[in-house]
């Protein structure tokens, strides 16, 4: 079954456009005609190619996580109601308003109709459905608990999205302050300072040291502003390239974990992701070693990923989970202790959930504290720069005024 894009006019004369799935263009026209639409243009839409898209925390970047989560919940509800998978997928395609998701799910449905499993069909879109999704769907289909697995996946995606939104929301204001502060500073040095200091050009008075420094900075920015832009852009792209290499990413992630204040937050986020993802996968029936293979990619930190690879090798030799994690030194004692308790009591999934919830709360608190600290700090820095500029201008003005008012 293919996807067709169309432009049409309703019986009331209102323009309409969208997509429809059908076996052929003729079938698509018949479907649209039944809806009371008169087709002006229709063409087949090509699907997403393997490897396209930009990955995000929960599943993939080609489709919004919120829309994907809603689709998963709808699919879970229908499967729980004993609706056959092909009919449930058909309903999902009809209900979704996201054109990209509609295209993806239409092709998934076509693949399922051809006899493939849901997991195999979803593998066609690796940037929409992550390894976590595929692994859990495979287990759900094999165990007959697909509806429960889908609910777990939806909960997992929502938790990750909530965490991501908290981080973005907390950093938005400080980032805005930084950009605004930089723009104001550049404006002062590039335009305001040169105009005001022109008044000193005709005098032979010796300018204060602070004023000379500010004038030097102002002259440099006015003459070589393009070099500053090139330097900043060059530095940004070099950093992006370096972090994109295996060696560079490992070094940067190691530095990030040791940064004052920030390092603790980075570690807490990685630990929370590790605990929640492992708990979700184990609770869905994924084997421990297979789950760790997926989880190590989710933590998004090369140092912790390396620790998990080493831990997996140790676990495959028959050791416990807590021991290798503790030996790595990269995981907090509370995590390894809770995992050890979970292994002994047979409640590892529940213990990981407790740890994840606790660290989510700590991350939220840490982000709020950092935001409260960054806001006055940015104001203080901006105020200090403006005060220095003002002082560098008023000092020679006062001296000039004193010279003018002195007798003789």
Tell me what pLDDT residue 380 has: 86
pLDDT at residue number 230: 92
SS3 of 383, please? Answer: helix
Write down the pTM of the prediction.
0.69
Are 31 and 20 within 8 A, CB to CB? Answer: yes
Determine the distance from the C-alpha atom of residue 328 to the mean position of all C-alpha atoms in its chain, rounded to a whole number: 27
Spans of the chain below 50 pLDDT: 47-61
Asked if 65-129 and 160-408 have one fold, the answer is yes
Please choose, from the candidates 109, 389, 283, the residue with its C-alpha nearest in 3D space to the C-alpha of residue 120. 109
CATH class of the domain at 160-408: mainly alpha
Main-chain phi, psi angles of 7, to 5 degrees: -125, 135
The predicted structure's pLDDT at residue 405 = 60
Residue range 65-129, CATH number: 1.20.81.30
Nearest to 132, CA basis, from 141, 124, 123: 123
Question: In the prediction, which pLDDT does 234 show?
Answer: 94
For residue range 157-202, what is the model confidence (pLDDT) as tens digits? 888 888 888 878 777 877 888 888 788 888 877 777 777 667 666 6
pLDDT of residue 49: 40
> What is the b/e burial string over 372-401, where b = at least 16 CB atoms within 10 angstroms of the residue's CB?
eebeeebeeebeebeeebeebbeebeebee
Cβ contact 271:359 at 8 Å = yes
What is the structure's pLDDT at 239?
92
Burial class (CB in 10 A: 0-12, 13-18, 19+), 137: buried
Could you tell me the residue ranges of all domains in the chain?
Answer: 2-45, 65-129, 160-408
Alpha-carbon torsion (92, 98, 103, 108), positive or negative = negative
């Amino acid at each position: 079954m293919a996807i067709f894009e169309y432009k049409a006019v309703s019986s009331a004369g209102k323009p309409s456009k969208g997509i429809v799935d059908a076996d052929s263009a003729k079938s698509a026209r018949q479907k649209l005609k039944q809806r009371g639409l008169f087709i002006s243009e229709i063409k087949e839409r090509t699907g997403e190619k393997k490897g396209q898209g930009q990955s995000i925390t929960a599943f993939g970047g080609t489709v919004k996580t919120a829309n994907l989560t809603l689709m998963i919940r709808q699919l879970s509800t229908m499967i729980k109601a004993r609706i056959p998978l092909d009919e449930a997928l058909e309903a999902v395609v009809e209900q979704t308003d996201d054109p990209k998701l509609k295209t993806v799910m239409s092709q998934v449905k076509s693949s399922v109709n051809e006899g493939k499993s849901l997991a195999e069909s979803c593998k066609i879109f690796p940037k929409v459905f992550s390894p976590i999704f595929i692994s859990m769907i495979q287990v759900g289909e094999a165990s007959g608990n697909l509806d429960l697995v889908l609910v777990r996946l939806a909960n997992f995606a929502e938790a990750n999205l909530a965490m991501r939104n908290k981080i973005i929301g907390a950093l938005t204001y400080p980032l805005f302050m930084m950009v605004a502060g930089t723009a104001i500073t550049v404006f002062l040095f590039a335009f305001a300072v040169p105009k005001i200091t022109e008044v000193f050009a005709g005098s032979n008075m010796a300018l204060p040291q602070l004023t000379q420094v500010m004038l030097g900075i102002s002259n440099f920015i006015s003459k070589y502003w393009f070099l500053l832009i090139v330097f900043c852009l060059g530095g940004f792209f070099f950093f992006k390239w370096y972090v994109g290499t295996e060696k560079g990413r490992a070094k940067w992630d190691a530095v990030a974990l040791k940064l004052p204040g920030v390092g603790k937050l980075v570690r807490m986020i990685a630990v929370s992701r590790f605990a929640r993802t492992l708990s979700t996968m184990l609770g869905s029936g994924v084997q421990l070693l297979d789950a760790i293979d997926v989880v190590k990619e989710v933590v998004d930190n090369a140092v912790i990923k390396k620790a998990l690879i080493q831990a997996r090798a140790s676990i495959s030799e028959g050791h416990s989970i807590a021991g290798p994690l503790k030996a790595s030194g990269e995981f907090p004692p509370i995590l390894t202790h809770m995992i050890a308790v979970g292994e002994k009591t047979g409640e590892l999934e529940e213990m990981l959930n407790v740890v994840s919830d606790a660290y989510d709360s700590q991350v939220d608190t840490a982000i709020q504290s950092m935001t409260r600290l960054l806001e006055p700090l940015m104001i203080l820095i901006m105020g200090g720069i403006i005060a220095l500029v003002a002082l560098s201008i008023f000092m020679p003005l006062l001296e000039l005024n004193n010279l003018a008012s002195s007798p003789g």
